[in-house]
């Protein structure tokens, strides 16, 4: 199965309303078409102030509906036809006004009329875009809740500088996030569908003073690959990550932290709702006992001693607070005695699976795109996975986790 196969041949009704984010719907349109979807665009007159009909027509190679009284076929009513024959309806961007109309059922233009004619069984995805005050307004929140209760999938908005220069939530989800969400709605048959997965990733930074820290060489690639693979298989994923240079995988809820203590706090908060927990982070075992308030000064020729105190073992803390049925996986990054160390970590941390890797190998260590890991199971069984991309390794690990969970 290819990642994007769910979209091939699917009929997508893409509704575009009047927000500056409408320019991104041209990109969305292009991506959906490239993935093999048959995209039919319906635009409000306000949307056309932001993006041209000709752009959407060129991207889809189909006429764009902009007027309720545009009827290309005398024997059929185009907007009813389109609403009823679509496999999915996506509204991106959805303004506060459009969301309000959807909530109360107003049909006063081509898009709202189409939306009112969409059968209940057709999945409907809405990507809001608006100023943060408009988004937070109780009326908009109430309207979004009404749509959610009706089974409409509402995508979260992003945080940042908005078109009005205010800073806050309200930015439309990025086109790749919308594509991921659409894929998920079609691929609800993934083996992690309905499962919540917590992944830790990356290094932690333990500060010494405002400019220095103790860190490690973890790039976070393995943890991010696990998060990405789990989303593609239908899971809802929270990724608690130390500082990395990696972008958030589409569809993943990313929580960024710096220190082991912050990572522990975020994991303890998220863990009770999770079915699977995977500790791929390279957590610092120790942190400086004292963090200087201002930059420590060099004293020529004088040695200094830094006292380190132990950090809590996050994955062990999670296993000792395990919710019923939770499956908890640890990693073991080793340079020697891989087998023995992995077996010891399996027992001492109370894990269901340990994934070990020999980080002294140039093709399986830090900051490379490949990995060669061994899976260690309670009872002593182990399995060597081949050298492969970190994404393929992630998929392999998830396949084994899914199989182990189905035997419980
Ligand atoms: N881990 C953790 N919290 C820590 C240390 C480790 O959650 N404070 C987790 C890692 O995310 C990984 C597993 O424990 O899943 C093993 O991490 P590793 O660094 O290999 O082992 P340690 O327990 O730190 O032991 P050592 O450093 O002695 O090898």
Whether residue 123 lies inside any domain: the answer is yes
The angle at the Cα of 364, spanning 233 to 328, to the nearest 5 degrees, equals 45
- Is residue 154 domain-shared with residue 256, that is, in the same domain? no
Distance between CA atoms of 257 and 204, rounded to whole angstroms? 8
- Is residue 245 domain-shared with residue 346, that is, in the same domain? yes
Query: Given 3-state DSSP classes, what are the helix, strand and coil percentages for the chain, each rounded to the nearest 5?
Result: 35, 25, 40
Among residues 155, 187, 219, the one where a domain terminates is 187
Mean pLDDT of 168-177: 91
In this predicted model, what pLDDT tens digit does every residue of 255-266 receive, in sequence order? 999 999 999 999
- Is residue 136 domain-shared with residue 165, that is, in the same domain? yes
Closest CA to 91 of 145, 146, 13: 13
Q: pTM for this structure? A: 0.63
Give the nearest ligand 1 atom to 318 CA.
7
- Is residue 205 domain-shared with residue 349, that is, in the same domain? yes
- Distance in Å, CA 332 to ligand 1 centroid: 7
- Is residue 395 domain-shared with residue 355, that is, in the same domain? yes
251 pLDDT higher than 50: yes
Distance between CA atoms of 240 and 281, rounded to whole angstroms? 9
The angle at the Cα of 90, spanning 89 to 92, to the nearest 5 degrees, equals 155
Please provide the DSSP assignment of 326-389 as one string: -EEEEEEEESS-HHHHHHHHHHHTT-SEEEEEETTSTTTSTT-SEE-EEEE-TTS-EEEPPSEE
- Distance in Å, CA 333 to ligand 1 centroid: 8
Q: 150: which 2 tokens?
A: 């009706």
Q: 210: which 2 tokens?
A: 């405002």
Whichever domain contains 316, its CATH number is: 3.40.50.10300
Q: How many helices (DSSP H) and strands (DSSP E) are in the chain?
A: 14, 21
Whether residue 53 lies inside any domain: the answer is yes
**Least confident piece of the model among 42-46, 101-105, 293-297, 362-366:** 362-366
Which residue's CA is the nearest one to ligand 1's atom 18? Answer: 332
In this predicted model, what pLDDT tens digit does every residue of 111-129 receive, in sequence order? 999 999 998 878 899 999 9
Q: How is residue 72 annotated by DSSP? A: S
Whether residue 5 lies inside any domain: the answer is no
Whether residue 237 lies inside any domain: the answer is yes
Where helices occur in 200-244 by DSSP H, the ranges are 221-232
Give the nearest ligand 1 atom to 200 CA.
11
Among residues 145, 160, 187, the one where a domain terminates is 187
Active-site annotation holder among 29, 114, 164, 193: 164
- Distance in Å, CA 209 to ligand 1 centroid: 24
Whether residue 2 lies inside any domain: the answer is no
Whether residue 172 lies inside any domain: the answer is yes
- Distance in Å, CA 319 to ligand 1 centroid: 13
Query: Quick one: pLDDT at residue 4?
Result: 45
In this predicted model, what pLDDT tens digit does every residue of 209-249 receive, in sequence order? 999 999 999 999 999 999 988 887 878 899 999 999 998 87
State whether the beta carbon of 226 lies less than 6 angstroms from ligand 1.
Answer: no
Q: How far is CA 373 from CA 191, 220, 342, 380, in A?
A: 22, 16, 11, 16
Query: Quick one: pLDDT at residue 74?
Result: 64
Whether residue 3 lies inside any domain: the answer is no
State whether the beta carbon of 41 lies less than 6 angstroms from ligand 1.
Answer: no
CA 101 to chain centre: 29
Share of residues in the chain with pLDDT > 90 (%): 70
- Is residue 106 domain-shared with residue 235, that is, in the same domain? no
382 pLDDT higher than 90: yes
Q: Evaluate whether 369 touches 389 at the Cβ level (below 8 Å).
A: yes
Confidence of residue 356 (pLDDT cuts 50, 70, 90): very high
Beta strand pairing status for 153-154 and 124-128? parallel
State whether the beta carbon of 192 lies less than 6 angstroms from ligand 1.
Answer: no
- Distance in Å, CA 281 to ligand 1 centroid: 8
Beta strand pairing status for 88-94 and 124-128? parallel
Mean pLDDT of 17-41: 95
Cα distance between the two ends of the chain = 27
Distance between CA atoms of 32 and 142, rounded to whole angstroms? 31
Instruction: For ligand 1, pick from 279, 321, 341 the residue to mutate: most ligand atoms within 8 Å of CB.
Output: 279
As for how many domains the chain has, the answer is: 2
- Is residue 118 domain-shared with residue 160, that is, in the same domain? yes
In this predicted model, what pLDDT tens digit does every residue of 262-280 receive, in sequence order? 999 999 999 999 999 999 9
76 pLDDT higher than 70: no
Query: Quick one: pLDDT at residue 2?
Result: 39
Instruction: For ligand 1, pick from 241, 264, 270, 332 the residue to mutate: most ligand atoms within 8 Å of CB.
Output: 332
- Distance in Å, CA 405 to ligand 1 centroid: 23
Which residue's CA is the nearest one to ligand 1's atom 17? Answer: 332
- Is residue 143 domain-shared with residue 239, that is, in the same domain? no
Active site residue 274: no
Peptide bond preceding 93 in cis form (omega within 30 of 0): yes
- Is residue 36 domain-shared with residue 166, that is, in the same domain? yes
142 pLDDT higher than 70: yes
Query: Quick one: pLDDT at residue 408?
Result: 63
State whether the beta carbon of 311 lies less than 6 angstroms from ligand 1.
Answer: yes
Which residue's CA is the nearest one to ligand 1's atom 8? Answer: 313
Whether residue 348 lies inside any domain: the answer is yes
State whether the beta carbon of 94 lies less than 6 angstroms from ligand 1.
Answer: no
Query: Quick one: pLDDT at residue 205?
Result: 98
Closest CA to 239 of 206, 275, 280, 204: 280
Whichever domain contains 132, its CATH number is: 3.40.50.1950
Sign of the CA dihedral running 46, 51, 52, 53: negative
State whether the beta carbon of 333 lies less than 6 angstroms from ligand 1.
Answer: yes
Among residues 130, 162, 187, the one where a domain terminates is 187
- Is residue 103 domain-shared with residue 209, that is, in the same domain? no
Instruction: For ligand 1, pick from 335, 345, 346 the residue to mutate: most ligand atoms within 8 Å of CB.
Output: 345
Query: Quick one: pLDDT at residue 187?
Result: 66
Give the nearest ligand 1 atom to 312 CA.
8
State whether the beta carbon of 396 lies less than 6 angstroms from ligand 1.
Answer: no
- Is residue 202 domain-shared with residue 329, that is, in the same domain? yes
- Is residue 38 domain-shared with residue 164, that is, in the same domain? yes
State whether the beta carbon of 284 lies less than 6 angstroms from ligand 1.
Answer: no
Mean pLDDT of 85-114: 96
Mean pLDDT of 315-340: 95
Mean pLDDT of 369-386: 93
Give the range of the structural domain holding residue 98, as residue numbers without chain letter.
11-187
């Amino acid at each position: 199965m290819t990642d994007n196969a769910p979209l091939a041949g699917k009929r997508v009704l893409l509704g575009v309303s009047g927000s500056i984010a409408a320019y991104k719907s041209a990109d969305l349109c292009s991506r959906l078409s490239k993935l093999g979807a048959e995209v039919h665009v319906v635009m409000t007159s306000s949307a056309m102030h932001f993006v041209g009909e000709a752009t959407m027509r060129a991207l889809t190679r189909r006429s764009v509906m902009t007027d309720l009284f545009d009827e290309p076929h005398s024997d059929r009513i185009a907007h009813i036809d389109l609403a009823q024959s679509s496999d999915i309806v996506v509204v991106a961007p959805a303004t506060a006004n459009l969301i309000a109309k959807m909530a109360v059922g107003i049909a006063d233009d081509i898009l709202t009329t189409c939306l009112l004619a969409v059968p209940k069984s057709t999945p409907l995805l809405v990507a809001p875009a608006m100023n943060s005050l408009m988004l937070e307004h109780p009326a908009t929140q109430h309207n979004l809740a009404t749509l959610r209760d009706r089974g409409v999938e509402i995508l979260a908005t992003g945080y940042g500088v908005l078109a009005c220069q205010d800073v806050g939530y309200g930015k439309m989800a990025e086109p790749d996030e919308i594509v991921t969400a659409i894929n998920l709605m079609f691929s609800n048959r993934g083996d992690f569908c309905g499962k919540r997965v917590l992944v830790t990733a990356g290094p932690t930074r333990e500060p010494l003073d405002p400019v220095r820290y103790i860190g490690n060489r973890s790039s976070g690639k393995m943890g991010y690959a696990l998060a990405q693979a789990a989303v593609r298989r239908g899971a809802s994923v929270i990724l608690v990550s130390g500082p990395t240079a990696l972008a958030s995988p589409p569809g993943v809820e990313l929580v960024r932290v710096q220190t082991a203590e912050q990572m522990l706090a975020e994991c303890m908060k998220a863990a009770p709702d999770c079915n699977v927990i995977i500790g791929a982070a390279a957590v610092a075992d120790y942190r400086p006992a004292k963090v200087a308030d201002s930059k420590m000064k060099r004293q020529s020729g004088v040695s200094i001693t830094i006292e380190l105190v132990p950090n809590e073992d996050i994955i062990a803390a999670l296993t000792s607070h395990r919710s019923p049925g939770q499956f908890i996986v640890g990693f073991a990054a080793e340079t020697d005695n891989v087998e023995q160390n992995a077996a010891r970590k399996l027992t001492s941390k109370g894990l269901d699976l340990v994934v070990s890797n020999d980080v002294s190998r140039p093709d399986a260590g830090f900051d490379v795109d490949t990995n060669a890991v061994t899976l260690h199971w309670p009872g002593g069984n182990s399995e060597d996975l081949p050298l492969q991309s970190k994404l393929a390794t992630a998929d392999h690990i998830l396949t084994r986790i899914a199989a182990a969970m189905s035997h419980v």
